[in-house]
Structure formats: C-alpha cells, structure tokens
Structure 1
Amino acid sequence: MCANIEVVHMTEKPAEKPLRMGVIGCAAIAARRTLPALAANPDVVVAAVASRQEAKARSFTDRFGGEPVEGYDRLLERPDIDAVYIPLPALLHAEWIERALRAGKHVLSEKPLATTRKDAEALVTLAAARDLVLLESFMFLTHSQHAFVRAKVAEGAIGTLRHLTAEFAFPAKADDDIRYLPDVGGGALTDIGVYPIRTALMYLGGELDVLGAWLHLDHERGVDLGGSALIGSSDGVAAHLTFGMEHSYRSQYALWGSHGRISVRWAYTPPPTHSPLVRIEQQDRVEDITLPAENQFANVVAAFVARVRHGVPSGLEGESVIAQAALVDRVRARAMAGLS
C-alpha cells in the first residue's frame, strides 16, 4: 500500500520590474562612466535621456537605449520614469533635484548635491517628506578600499590617528570647460575640493573646525582654480586638504597615527580595472597591500537600486550630505574672509 504523498507546488516570487531611469543632461561623466553602469545593471533600464537639444539626447540613446527627449521638464512629466539621474553642472543641481522630487521621482544626482548647506538641507527634507530616495553620486565613497582602510585604522594598525592629508588635483582643462563658468560650474572648491573635504568627514567625524583656508581666485573668469584648508577635530586631529585644477594629477590621502601611517595611492578616480594599493608604514616594516579591482560607478548604481527597492541605507544621503555642504560653506567663508 502506497502512502499518499501531498505534492506542494512552489511558486516563484515574480521578478521585480527594472527601475525605469531618466537622465537629465548629457554630461561627459554620464557618457564615460555612469550611463555604462546604468545600462549594465540588470535591475535598471534607461527609459529616456533629456537634453536641451534633441540631437544630443539622441546621441546618448543610440548608445545606451531609451527615448530622446528635448527639454528637462518634458522628461519629468513622463509617467514611465521611476527615477532620474542628474549629471548637470553643479550650480544647476539644486533646481532640478527639487523639480524631480516634486514630480514624484527618486533622484540620483552627481556631486555635489547642492553647493550650500541651506540648499542641501532643503532637498534632503523635501525627499524625506515625499518618501523619495535622494542619493548623491559620490562614487569614491562606495569603493571598498576605503572600508578596508577604516577597518585597519580601527584595528590599531597606525595607533591613534593624529593627522590626515588629502589631495585631489589635475591639470587645466579646455577654456570652455564648465568648471570655468561661474554661473554653472562653480569652480574648484565645489567640484574638486569636496573630495578631500568628504575624506576629512569620513575619518574625523562631523564636529570639525576650519582653522584656515585659501582659494586661488581667477578674477578674469570669476572662479577659484584651487585651494587648501586646514581642518581640526574636537579631539585634536588635524587635516590638511589640497585641491585644484592647475596641477599635475594627484589623487590620494594618508592617515598618520601614533604608531604608523596608512595611505591610499589612487583614492578618488580609480578606473574599474585598477587594483588599489594601500601602504601601511610602521617603525620597522612597510607593507603594500593590493586589493581587488572594482567599478565604483557600478557600486553607486547598485546602492541606488538597493535604496529604492529595499530601503537599504547608504552613506550617500541625508545628514552626511548636509555635513559635507556645511563644511564647504565654512571653507569658502574662511577663505573669502582672508581675501577681504
């Protein structure tokens, strides 16, 4: 006699539909890095790309998919867009982030989210009030080399942290580069200085004083071309930050402690094929550690999808963005006070 066997048919959970992304603006960084990452992510579909000229939008959609749209407002009106990516010039971010949020879209914006604390705080508050995701695409923060360094510091590899240096600069761009246009680009502090500033926040915390700051102003263009800042924490750690766009290329930071030093050689813009090198220097030994290569732009896209779909928090939103904007404000104010 055979026993009766109950067969239970398991039904698979339906796969979630891809996040339908619209792109507002056709910046070079979007074409080189972020749009390839969006197009490669299986949980994302590029649904539309907007430009002020349809031909430019079409040049992007021919490569990455979606429909070309003439005009940013027209893209925000589309019901088939769940979220938008905004790679516009820095001084246009706040306006179009606000418009996108009011249109009910989640937003992934190029850094900086806003150029002042007041604007950053208003945007973060608006996103929270509308239950929408607002992430700043500060890609270097998602690279695991920094988590590795934080872990080593926490383990005591360099003892007690005493000093931080962070440097990000590159050679001059073409004369028509948006960084030289004060009405949209904002200059070196807004576009480049945020990298070492965010590094200081990452390792020293949010209670920081600006002890000194300097900006090299190009009075003819009306923008700053570079600068430095000396930052101090409440527990006596100092940070010396340098940035600019009139230098040979440099992209690194170092943490100096009571028993050693740890440095990241290519901190901010490593290509996807680059295997990061972290150096730990102690009194009697030097150790070079090579880490796996990874695509930090793909990491940002994955973090955005995880936040929208599953509420997974990231370090690219909320209070951390406000703290960054506030520190930029204080560096700018200190530098301008010294020039008056």
Structure 2
Amino acid sequence: MVTPAPNHGERQVLRVGVMGCAEIARRRMLPAMRAHPLIEVAAVASRDAAKAAETAGLFGCRPVVGYDTLLADDTVQAVYVPLPAALHARWVEAALAAGKHVLAEKPLTTDPACTRELLDQARARGLVLMENVMFVHHGRHEVVRRLVADGAIGELRALHVTFTIPRLPDDDIRHQPELGGGSLFDVGVYPVRAAVHLLPGPLEVRGAVLERGPGRRVDTAGAALLRSPDGVVAHLTFGMEDAYRSRYELSGSTGRILVDRAFTPPADHAPQIVVETRDGIRTHTLPPDDQVANTLDAFVAAVRTGHLSPADSLAQADLLATIRQTAVPSR
C-alpha cells in the first residue's frame, strides 16, 4: 500500500517530468500525456541541451539539462523514465529518493532482486512505482479472459505467443549489451507478460533458447516454454530481425481463441477476437481502445488512491531472469 497523493479536487493535475528524449517518449507517451486531462507535462530533461529544447518545444513544456536537475525540481511530482533498460535502476532509485512517483519503461530493471528492492523502496516512501506495460490496459484482453473463464473453448490447454519486429539499424541501442539490449528484454517481455496476464501462476520455465545473429553482441531471437501449476503450457517466441508479428492463441479442449495485433494496436484500431470451435468461427469486433491513455489513467489513479499491485511485474522479472539463466545459447 502506498500513501495516496493529496486530492484537492477532481481536476487536480499530476505534474510529470520526462527523463530523456527516447523515441517511445516522443512518438507515444508525450503526445498521450499532453492530451491527458489530469497530467501536465512540466519538463523534458536531456543531457543534450539542444535535444531537450527541441523535444520540449514540440510538446509545450520546459527543457531541462541533466536528469539530476529535473529530480531537484520540487514542482515535478512524478517522472517518466524511458531510458535504456540498464539505466533504469540508477535513475528510478534517484527519482524515488527525490520523492517522485515513477512510471518506468519495461523491463523495470534487468535483475529481479533489484526490481524487488525498488518496489520496496517505493512502498516505504509512500510512492508509486509502475512499470509501463501498456497492452495489459487494453480492454480486449479482459474480454479474452472472460471468454476463457466462461468455457468458450473448454478446458484451457495451451498458449502460443509471438512478438517479432523487423531488423533494427546497426547503431540502435538495443544492440548494446551494456545498455540492457537484446531481444529478450526488448520484445520477449511482451510474450512473457502475456503469459503472466492470461494464465494462472506461478509459471515455471521448462526450457528456453536465445539466438545471437551474425556479428551481434546480444540475443536477436529466442523462445521459451512455460508451464502453469494446472498444466497449461505456454510457447513463447520473439525476435528483432524478423517480419512483424504480434499475436497470441489460446487453445482449449473444444476450440481456440486468436488475437492478432495484440501488443501495439493504434488507438483507432477496432480489435477483433476470433473464436473457433466445432460449431464454427465467431469474430468479436470490439470498439477501439487507447491503451496508452488507459495506462496513464492507471498511473494517475494509483497516485491518487495509493493502490497498485506489483505482483505481475515481479512475476515477469523472475521469468525473464530464469529464461536468460537457463537458455541454451546459440552456437
């Protein structure tokens, strides 16, 4: 339990500072924050003054040079951390020490013990520390969970999840191991979190493979086999030098559920859920849902109410670490 922020009115806004000018911040999070009625983008910080000024100018906020300077600003109540994964632990800890609520990109850290320590620090200080896994806030996946619970495909047997993206530029930071790069932490986190979100836990790793492409210093593809306590098996595949695929399939004793464009749908996309059984194929078309705005809603609500469960983030952190530790390396 965290201490809720003081609420002096329904329209009180949360003043957020952005730590860095990463692509995801500029392309998705900053536009969504600027449009959110309960968030004010107070500042954007960068070590590069020109980059800070350019990004701040695009989103109508104040440029700040240096992350420490941003954290020293008492008018900033929360920070968003879109830095490379290996830098999260240092700057999330510094933000918590400065009394800021934190929304940090996934994975929260690259080490489960560190993730636990930071979550403990946030709880002890009465602050919110939330991992920015956006797809779990899309309404489609709750519909899927209800269909499974209602027996739409009989007894659940297996989950197959795939998330792959096209080849990245050679100088992309996700090719740098010292910054926490690699396919497992960049794209593998999505299938892992999908398994945590859709299956009963605790999940255990039964096998894993990480592949390293020619000339690469990080894993560029991988797969993992997980098992739930009641025997449901999850097959996860991921990669960052492949054709784009973003989907999962739940197989049961009497049918299956298919979900495409599962992890990064645009806000105007009308998602579909396909249910195949012996009686035929039914397609459920749902209204568009904005998972980015929903994520910000969840963050603001957590700050206001003091309620936030870290259980899924901890389960995800443990599974990522176990996959890396047990993976058969490429030759």
So what's the TM-score if we normalise by structure 2?
0.95
Which position in structure 1 is the counterpart of 2:306?
311
Aligned to 1:55: 50
- CA deviations on 1:93-136 (whole Å, 9 max, x unpaired) are 11111110011000001111111211111111110010100111
**1:210 Cα shift?**
1.1
Q: Structure 2: 5+ residue runs without aligned partners?
A: 1-7
Deviations 1:116-170 (A, max 9, x none): 2111111111100101001111000000000010011111101110010000001
Q: Which residue of 1 aligns with 2:169?
A: 174
Q: 1:120 corresponds to which residue?
A: 115
1:75 aligns with 2:70: yes
**Counterpart position of 1:4:** none
Q: Distance in 2 between matches of 1:339 and 1:222?
A: 12
Does structure 1 residue 335 correspond to structure 2 residue 330? no
Name the SS of the counterpart of 2:178 in structure 1. coil
> What's the CA shift for 1:206?
2.6
Distance 1:14 1:229, change over 3 A: closer
Q: Which amino acid aligns with 2:274?
A: R
Question: Cα distance 1:122–1:287, how it changes in 2: closer, same or farther (>3 A)?
Answer: same
Q: Do residues 104 (structure 1) and 96 (structure 2) align?
A: no
Q: What is the correspondence of 1:268-283 to structure 2 with a 5 Å cutoff?
A: 268-283=263-278
Q: In the alignment, what sits opposite 2:318?
A: 326
For residues 330 and 231 of structure 1, the distance between their equivalents in structure 2, rounded to whole angstroms, comes to: 11
CA distance in 2, matches of 1:195, 1:14: 36
**Which residue identity does 1:22 align to in structure 2?**
G
Q: Secondary structure of 1:304's match? A: helix
Aligned partner of residue 153 in structure 1, secondary structure: helix
Offset at residue 213 of structure 1 (A): 0.5
Larger Rg: 1
Alpha-carbon separation, structure 2, partners of 1:319 and 1:236: 21
Shift of 1:219: 6.7
Contact 2:200 2:229 in 1 (8 A): no
Residue 290 of structure 2 aligns with which residue?
295
What is the Cα-based RMSD across aligned positions, in Å? Answer: 1.4
**Alpha-carbon distance, 1:181 to partner:** 1.1
- Structural mapping, 1:180-259, within 5 Å: 180-218=175-213, 220-259=215-254
Measure, in 1, the Cα distance between the counterparts of 2:11 and 2:191.
38
> What is the aligned-residue identity percentage?
51
Q: How many residues in Structure 1 have an aligned counterpart in Structure 2?
A: 324
TM-score, structure 1 as length reference: 0.92
- Per the alignment, in what secondary structure is the counterpart of residue 179 of structure 2? coil
In structure 2, relative to structure 1, the CA distance for the partners of 1:14 and 1:186 (3 Å cut) is closer
Runs of at least 5 residues in structure 1 that lack an aligned partner in the other structure: 1-12
C-alpha offsets along residues 192-220 of structure 1, whole Å, 9 cap, x if unaligned?
A: 10100111111223322211100112474
Q: Which has the higher contact order (CA 8 A, sep 6+)?
A: 2
Cα separation, partners in 2 of 1:14 and 1:115, compared to 1, 3 Å: closer
In the alignment, is residue 46 of structure 1 matched against residue 38 of structure 2? no
Query: Among 88, 95, 103, which residue is 2:90 paired with?
Result: 95
Q: Would the alpha carbon gap of residues 157 and 45 (structure 1) be closer, same or farther in structure 2, given more than 3 Å must change?
A: same
